[in-house]
Amino acid sequence: MSGKVKITAFASRPDERSSFDLFEDKLGLDIKHVSSQLSLDVVDQAAGSEGVTILGNCDCSKPVLEALSKLGVKFVSSRSAGYNNIDVEAAKSLNIKISNARYSPNCVADFAVMLGLMVTRKVINGLRRNVANDFSLPGLQGQEMKNLTVGVIGTGRIGQTVIKNYSGFGCKIIGYDVYENEDIKQYMDYVELDYLLANSDIITLHTPLFDSTYHIINKESISKMKKGVKIINTARGELVDTQALIEGLKSKHIGGAGLDVLESEYGIYHSDCRMSGMVNDEIATLKALDNVVLTGHMAFYTDQAVEDMVYCGLSSLAQFSKTGTADFEIK
């Protein structure tokens, strides 16, 4: 008996490996690496493990949790912040403890502001032209941030960092959240959602995916927005009704979008799909539209964040095994 806690790391990527190796001994763990995302097809790989660590692209629905429970798995830690892929109620009923990760909000916040700047200055249109040696200006005129109002939906850890970042550009910042944060009020004003929709030049989304936030951007909310509004989503694809967004972009009511996440990204983003014959109408349409920047769920992806995510996932499993609870347990 090594005395080490046996765990399985699903969706384990080569770039995470040095962090896994760094913390494995320190935390007294014995890690089995599985490169596949957790699903019913590969769940058996967790046999013999007390806990498993997963990412946000893993399937942690009730059937998968039931299979994990049958294998004797007691703890699931996500190395991602969003945990909408985990059936929390099913985990509770199976007595499986779950946790998510906490890491620096700057990785996503910086990326969200970059997307905001890119669509405001029509950078993607300029880059597309340059590929064809077209360096003309008409159609590329942008706006100055100091003249704009940014509407931040969700003023949690990432939203607050976005607000601080944008404050450096001198823009007016308004925000909407179900809970107001006192400290951030020095940089912005809280407003009702409808006011934010009607008055923002850039709307940037930073809420988790809940029933209450599903399709928070939809046909009706888009109709309340200013003409030419830019929409930035680095939170979860399901916050936006993609078809309504596409209609808004086609009609030019929406002046641009920066999207790191998409409703239909599952099984596509984080994979090399060049040889897969993959057809995704939404991605194809969005790519073809004017002033839309698509990135493949990479806003989190910095050296600091990857190390923190791995540490958080592993330390939660070590804590669960030792004490029955963890700092970032989802209760």
- List residues near ligand NAD by CB under 6 A: 81-82, 105, 108, 153-159, 176-179, 206-210, 212-213, 234-236, 260-261, 297, 299-300
Which one, 69 or 104, has the nearer CB to ligand NAD?
Answer: 104
Which one, 125 or 161, has the nearer CB to ligand NAD?
Answer: 161
Residue 309 backbone dihedrals phi, psi, to 5 degrees: -65, -45
Of 192, 265, 282, 307, the catalytic one is 265
Q: What is the DSSP letter of 289?
A: S
> In whole angstroms, how close is the CB of 104 to ligand NAD at the nearest point?
10
Distance of CA 122 to the CA centre of its chain: 23
> In whole angstroms, how close is the CB of 322 to ligand NAD at the nearest point?
26
Q: Is 206 a catalytic residue?
A: no
- Chain residue whose CB lies nearest ligand NAD: 156
Of 66, 236, 274, 307, the catalytic one is 236
Residue 17 backbone dihedrals phi, psi, to 5 degrees: -60, -40
**Taking a C-beta distance cutoff of 8 angstroms, is the pair 4, 27 a contact?**
no
The residue among 78, 71, 127, 125 whose CA lies nearest residue 100 is 78
Q: E strands along the chain, which residues? A: 5-9, 29-33, 51-54, 75-78, 97-99, 149-153, 172-176, 189-190, 202-205, 229-233, 254-259, 292-294
CA-atom Rg of the chain in angstroms: 21
> In whole angstroms, how close is the CB of 234 to ligand NAD at the nearest point?
4
Which one, 142 or 208, has the nearer CB to ligand NAD?
Answer: 208
> In whole angstroms, how close is the CB of 138 to ligand NAD at the nearest point?
34
Q: Is 215 a catalytic residue?
A: no
CA dist 25 and 259 (Å) reads: 38
Pairing label, strands 189-190, 5-9: unpaired
Which one, 49 or 233, has the nearer CB to ligand NAD?
Answer: 233
> In whole angstroms, how close is the CB of 191 to ligand NAD at the nearest point?
12
Of 79, 121, 206, 297, the catalytic one is 297
Which one, 305 or 318, has the nearer CB to ligand NAD?
Answer: 305
Q: Is 192 a catalytic residue?
A: no
DSSP β-bridge partners for residue 53? 9, 77
Catalytic residues: 236, 265, 297
